[in-house]
Amino acid sequence: MGFWQNRRVVLSGGNGFLGSFVVEKLRAAGCREISTPHSRDYDLREKSEALRLFKDAKPDIFIHLAAVVGGIGANRANPGRFFYDNAVMGINAIEAGRLAGVEKFVCAGTICSYPKFTPVPFREENFWDGYPEETNAPYGLAKKMLLVQLQAYREQYGFKGIYLTPVNLYGPRDNFDPESSHVIPALIRKCWEAKQVRAPEVTAWGTGRATREFLYVEDAAEAMVLAAEKYEKPEPVNLGSGAEISIGNLLELICSLTGYQGTARWDEKKPDGQPRRCLDTSRAVTEFAWHAKTSLHDGLQKTVSWYTESLSNPLGAAARRS
């Protein structure tokens, strides 16, 4: 409680999916001054706006979560935007933080930065061993450059920046828009809607053989807060659950949890993305005593419940879009 009590914390992306949970964890930890500026008020793609944010908000700790993200389809449709917006927002925020003398800068990276054929489980020392998977390489490389910047600034200026690499996140308040969502919310929505109209089958991208690891959003938020308090080193830190599942088995589990009894058809003309994803999270355990607590089954059950409940209230349509 003492660490956070008198520190002013500012979060870019603090009104988003992960950010909203980080805010809750900060409050629970005793933080009294939390600011979540909106992009319409401070556009971090403009250096002058980033400088103005730090001048106005005067953060002790800045947590950079703002990102332009999406699933494979969104990445393929927007490679230029995903590269430019993510790179320039982070570059401007880190530079503004340095000039403002912020006490600590916490940056959220992405598993998409890892090489396409990284040995499983992914270890931080493999981060630079190859080029990312092509469908999300622009996004992954943009975020990866922020680690370079943080390490360079630490070496030259003594800037205290840390870099955390979460695996695919999911949970309540996720983006369920079929045009831009990640795999779990996309499949939940697909199965739920198929159940409502008694569709005999649902179609999913790829072969179903690719594997992924998923981290429940509340566990990720807890890791962010713990790392902000306790982690001081320049090396990146993986955040994951340690459980790997094929997309085919994931779809079966989501069908069961949504009550959909039809069959799955795989559109193999669509890409699988990276063949496998699973992280070694031992560094997070060693450095700030964090490990994921929520099983995939329990996390999915909470996510399905949130989604279906959101459809029955006046804000349901908004929840379905966002």
Name the pairing type of β-strands 201-205 and 104-108: unpaired
CB 132 within 8 A of CB 140: yes
Catalytic hit among 84, 114, 131, 139: 139
How many Cβ atoms sit within 10 Å of the Cβ of residue 280?
A: 17
Token pair recorded at residue 73: 């389809």
Clarify whether 139 is annotated catalytic.
yes
CB 43 within 8 A of CB 239: no
CA-closest candidate to residue 73, choices 181, 202, 188, 169? 181
The dihedral sign for the CA sequence 173, 161, 78, 84: positive
- What angle separates helix 17-28 from helix 217-230, to the nearest 10 degrees? 60
Calculate ∠ Cα 73-75-76, nearest 5°. Answer: 65
CB 162 within 8 A of CB 209: no
Which residues have a catalytic role annotated? 139
